[in-house]
Amino acid sequence: MRHGQSRANRSPARTVVLTAVTALLAAASAPASAATHAAPIEHAAHAPPRTASPDGCDTARGALAGRFGTLVARDGIPGAAAEVTGPRCGRWTVARGVADLDTGRPMRARDRLRIGSVTKTFTATVVVQLAAEGRIGLDAPVERYLPGLIRGNGHDGRRITVRQLLQHTSGLPDYVEAIVERPVDEWRFRHFEPRELVATALAMPRPAPGWRYSTTNYVLAGLLVEQVTGHGIEAEVDRRIIEPLGLRDTYWPGDRTRIRGPHSRSYAPAEDPADPAPTDGTEWNMTFGGAGGALVSTPGDVNRFFRGLFGGRLLPARWLAEMKRTVPADPQRLWPGARYGLGLISSPLSCGGRWWGHGGTVPGGHRALGAVGPGGSGVALALTKVPDTDRAEEEYLAAVDTALCPSYKEMK
């Protein structure tokens, strides 16, 4: 479950599934109905008191709404929504476009969606919690916890540490790249076991050394948690994160292919070049992503998670600092200036400072991102289709800037 798309490898030859999971995107545009169903700006109830002028807060809302309007009208994203929180303007939401192209139902920030690789931060947090409890060593070899599992094609669990898994420096291939080469109907609705996914990765050619984003790392992290605790990663995330933070709209779907409750649809580029309508890819068996990409959530819950993490509710400061120890990420895989910690992306803001968080895409087309800025603000974004051009991707990332920079500027 990848965060974003490779800037070097966009090709119209790959469709639907590759849109989200290998990020080799076909050029496509949503039908006109996607651009004409513009939802009004939402205002969340019971927001904290504002500490800035209403005019300044309204300007921030309008600017973010403008970004989303561009994504919908110019870039063919059917729907875009966000929740923003912070000391400057309280909690507020923005939505544009539609959640469902068939019905024209307006996009809403409170709708559920598949959050893809944002799941990785949940998994990494549990691993680091176990390290804080003395049950896992971040610099211990994976072999200590999963003996004999990582073998083949030059891979050796005795030479890979837990930290390297979480940091994407293990050198392990990404099983996603192998599976998506198969016809999508062979695997879209089938169940995958984590060890099956690992075996798929180990049969692949060894990649070049260096930082390499690989969901295989996080499937292994989930198995490691199970080995140490005796409970699956799903149960540990529920017990350690979802329940304490009251994330009522966040859950593991298991083998259920439909999203429970109110949710946005997920869209991929058209399969048939003669028909420009996006393909609905909402229903999927997300055991394909597992500990690296299966969670369903909402922008509100994603915000609560990251604010809880950076607010000290999930980890002592010393161990949060471990998560924030970063290495340079491949700018072709993410973007210039991005760095990767333990399940965290760090990225520069145009106004100064950096945001911390993670993003994700899933088969079918959902895109999510959660981030916390240096001014105490948080933002969580949801798109119903993955941007398929550099221009659209830049607009999407600029929306994070637009949401977080006002609080940082005022803090300075």
Q: Give the integer Cα–Cα distance in Å for 178 and 176.
A: 5
Q: Is 331 in contact with 348 (CB distance < 8 Å)? A: no
The span from the CA of 318 to the CA of 129, in Å, is 11
The answer to whether 373 and 32 are in contact (CB under 8 A) is no
Alpha-carbon gap, residue 270 to 164, rounded angstroms: 37
377 is a catalytic site residue: no
- The 3-class secondary structure across 3-48, one letter per residue, is CCCCCCCCCCCCCCHHHHHCCCCCCCCCCHHHHHCCCCCCCCCCCC
β pairing state of 155-156 and 339-340: unpaired
If you ran DSSP here, which 8-state letter would residue 71 be given? Answer: H
* Candidate list 6, 29, 53, 117, residue with the active-site label: 117
CB atoms within 10 A of CB 102: 9
CA pair distance 159, 31, nearest whole angstrom:
51
Enter the DSSP assignment of 157. G
Separation CA 236–CA 129 (nearest Å)? 10
Do residues 122 and 130 make contact, with C-beta atoms less than 8 angstroms apart?
no
Token pair for 337: 């200036």
Q: Give the largest Cα separation in the chain, rounded.
A: 61
Task: Give the tokens for residue 161.
Answer: 């540490």
Which residues are marked as active site?
A: 117
